[in-house]
C-alpha cells in the first residue's frame, strides 16, 4: 500500500510485496534451528523487529497518511486496525483453549481450507513475475511443463524409494493414467486440426471461441486438478490429527501447494496472455484440494487406496504438458528449455523445503501424511 500510494505501478508493488515475503518460507528451517539453539536471544530479536516496525509506522506511514487524510481519519483507521488484530488474536486463543473435545473436527476443516492457500499464492507469484519481467509465452509454457513433471514423478519416486508400493502396480497405474490422458489430449488436437481459422478458433466445433492451444492448456489444468483432488483426499484423512487448529501446518501446506498454482497459472498465461484467467485458474486449483479434503473428512475414509489414485493422477500429468511443451519448442526452443529447467528447479525446491520443514520442525508431527 505504501508503494502504490507513491505512484508505483500495481505490478511492481505486487512484485516487491512477494519478494519481501519470500525470505519467510525460505529461511524457516534454519531460523527455527537457530531459534532453538539461541533461545535466550529471542526476546532481543523480537524486540528489535517490533522496534523496526514501529519506526516505519511513525517515520513513513503516518506522515504519508496525514498528507492524504485528516488526523481524525488516520486515528480512526489506526484504532480500527489495532482493534481488528486484537480481536483476531483473541478468537484464535479462544479456539485453542475451548475446543478440546471437538478440536479434531475444527483442526481438520481449518487445515483443509489452508490447503488452498498454496496454489493461490503460487499463481499470484507467477503472474507478478510474468508481468514485472515481461516473460515470453514459450518460457512460461516451459515453466509449467517443468513444474508438472516434478509433480508427476515426486510421489512415485517416494513410494519406490520407501518400498511402500511394488514397482509393477505402480507402473501399471502410471501407464493407465498416462494412456487415458494421452488419448484425451490427442482427441483435442485432432478436433483442433479439423477446423482451422485465422485465429485457430474452435467455435465451429465446440461452440466456444477457444483456440486449440487454450483448450489444450485447460485440459492440462484439469490434469492438475485431478492431482490436487487426490492430494486433498490424503489431506482430509490426515488433517483431523493436526493440533492447534492446524496453524502449525500453514508453512508446509503452503509450500506444498505452491508448484500446482504456478503450473496452472503459467500454462494459462502462456496460452491466453491473460493474468485474470491465470489467477482464476490458480484459484480454482486451490479450491480443489480443500473441497476433496472436506469430502474425505465428512465421508470418514481411511488412507488405504489413496496412493493408487495418486499414481493414476501423476501419470495423467505427463502427456498433457508434454504435448504443449512440444508446441512451445517448435516455436522458441531455447526459451522453452530454459523455462523447463526453471520449472523443475522451482518445484523441486518447494517440495524439498516442505520435507525439510517436516523433518526439522514439529509442524508435521501431528499429521505427517497431510504433506508428502
Domain shared by 39 and 171, yes or no? no
Domain shared by 341 and 304, yes or no? yes
Q: Tens digits of per-residue pLDDT, 228-283? A: 999 888 888 877 766 555 556 667 777 888 999 999 999 999 888 888 889 889 98
Distances (CA, A) of 258 to 49, 61, 146, 151: 27, 31, 14, 11
Nearest to 115 by CA among 296, 246, 223, 280: 246
The widest CA-to-CA distance across the chain, in whole angstroms, is 71
Q: What is the DSSP letter of 363?
A: G
Exposure of 150 in the CB half-sphere (CA atoms within 13 A): 25
Of 98, 128, 152, at which residue does a domain stop?
Answer: 98
Residue 5 forms part of a structural domain: no
Domain shared by 45 and 110, yes or no? no
**pLDDT reported for residue 303:** 80
Exposure of 267 in the CB half-sphere (CA atoms within 13 A): 34
Q: Rounded CA gap, 314 and 171, in Å? A: 11
**pLDDT reported for residue 315:** 93
Residue 158 grid coordinates: 517416494
Domain that holds residue 86: 19-98
Of 42, 69, 98, at which residue does a domain stop?
Answer: 98
**pLDDT reported for residue 208:** 43
Residue 153 forms part of a structural domain: yes
Residue 1 CA, chain-centre distance (Å), reads 24
Domain shared by 36 and 182, yes or no? no
- What average pLDDT does the structure give for the chain? 78
Domain shared by 55 and 131, yes or no? no
Domain shared by 212 and 300, yes or no? yes
Residue 14 forms part of a structural domain: no
Q: With left for phi above 0 and alpha for psi between -120 and 50, is residue 163 left, alpha or beta? A: left
Residue 66 grid coordinates: 496525514
Domain shared by 33 and 54, yes or no? yes
Domain shared by 359 and 300, yes or no? yes
| Beta bridge mates, 9 | none
Per-residue pLDDT of the chain (372 residues; tens, 9 = 90+): 666 666 777 777 777 777 777 766 666 666 666 656 666 767 777 788 888 888 888 887 788 778 878 888 888 888 888 888 777 776 666 555 554 445 555 566 666 777 788 898 899 989 998 888 888 888 999 999 999 999 999 999 988 988 888 889 999 999 999 999 888 878 766 765 554 443 444 444 444 446 667 778 888 899 999 999 998 888 888 777 665 555 566 677 778 889 999 999 999 998 888 888 898 899 889 888 888 888 887 787 888 888 899 999 999 998 888 878 887 888 788 999 999 999 999 999 999 888 887 776 665 655 555 555
Q: Are 123 and 278 in contact (CB under 8 A)?
A: yes
The count of structural domains within the chain is 2
- Global pTM? 0.68
Q: Which residues contact 362 (CB under 8 A, 6 or more apart)?
A: 248
Q: Tens digits of per-residue pLDDT, 302-330? A: 888 888 999 999 999 988 888 788 878 88
**pLDDT reported for residue 364:** 65
Amino acid at each position: 500500500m505504501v508503494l502504490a500510494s507513491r505512484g508505483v505501478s500495481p505490478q511492481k508493488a505486487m512484485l516487491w510485496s512477494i519478494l519481501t515475503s519470500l525470505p519467510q518460507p525460505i529461511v524457516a528451517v534454519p531460523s527455527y534451528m537457530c531459534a532453538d539453539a539461541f533461545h535466550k536471544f529471542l526476546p532481543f530479536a523480537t524486540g528489535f523487529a517490533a522496534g523496526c516496525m514501529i519506526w516505519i509506522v511513525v517515520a513513513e506511514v503516518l506522515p504519508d497518511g496525514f498528507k492524504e487524510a485528516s488526523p481524525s481519519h488516520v486515528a480512526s483507521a489506526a484504532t480500527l486496525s489495532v482493534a481488528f488484530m486484537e480481536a483476531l488474536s483473541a478468537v484464535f486463543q479462544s479456539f485453542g483453549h475451548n475446543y478440546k473435545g471437538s478440536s479434531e473436527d475444527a483442526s481438520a476443516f481449518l487445515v483443509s481450507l489452508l490447503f488452498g492457500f498454496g496454489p493461490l499464492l503460487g499463481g499470484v507469484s507467477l503472474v507478478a513475475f510474468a508481468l514485472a519481467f515481461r516473460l515470453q509465452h514459450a518460457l512460461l509454457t516451459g515453466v509449467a511443463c517443468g513444474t508438472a513433471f516434478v509433480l508427476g514423478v515426486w510421489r512415485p519416486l517416494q513410494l519406490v524409494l520407501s518400498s511402500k508400493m511394488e514397482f509393477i502396480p505402480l507402473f501399471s497405474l502410471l501407464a493407465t493414467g498416462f494412456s487415458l490422458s494421452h488419448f484425451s489430449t490427442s482427441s483435442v488436437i485432432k478436433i483442433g486440426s479439423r477446423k482451422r481459422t485465422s485465429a485457430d478458433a474452435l467455435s465451429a466445433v465446440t461452440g466456444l471461441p477457444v483456440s486449440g492451444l487454450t483448450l489444450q492448456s485447460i485440459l492440462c489444468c484439469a490434469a492438475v486438478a485431478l492431482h490436487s483432488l487426490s492430494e486433498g483426499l490424503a489431506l482430509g484423512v490426515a488433517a483431523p490429527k493436526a493440533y492447534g487448529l492446524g496453524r502449525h501446518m500453514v508453512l508446509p501446506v503452503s509450500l506444498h501447494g505452491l508448484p500446482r498454482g504456478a503450473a496452472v497459472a503459467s500454462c494459462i498465461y502462456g496460452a491466453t496472455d491473460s493474468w485474470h484467467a491465470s489467477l482464476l485458474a490458480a484459484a480454482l486449483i486451490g479450491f480443489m484440494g480443500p473441497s476433496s479434503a472436506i469430502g474425505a473428512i465428512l465421508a470418514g475414509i481411511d488412507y488405504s487406496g489413496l496412493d493408487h489414485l495418486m499414481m493414476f493422477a501423476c501419470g495423467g500429468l505427463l502427456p498433457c504438458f508434454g504435448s504443449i511443451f512440444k508446441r512451445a519448442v517448435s516455436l522458441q526452443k531455447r526459451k522453452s528449455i530454459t523455462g523447463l529447467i526453471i520449472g523443475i528447479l522451482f518445484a523441486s525446491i518447494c517440495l524439498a523445503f516442505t520435507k525439510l520443514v517436516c523433518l526439522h520442525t514439529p509442524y508435521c508431527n501431528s499429521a505427517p501424511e497431510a504433506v508428502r
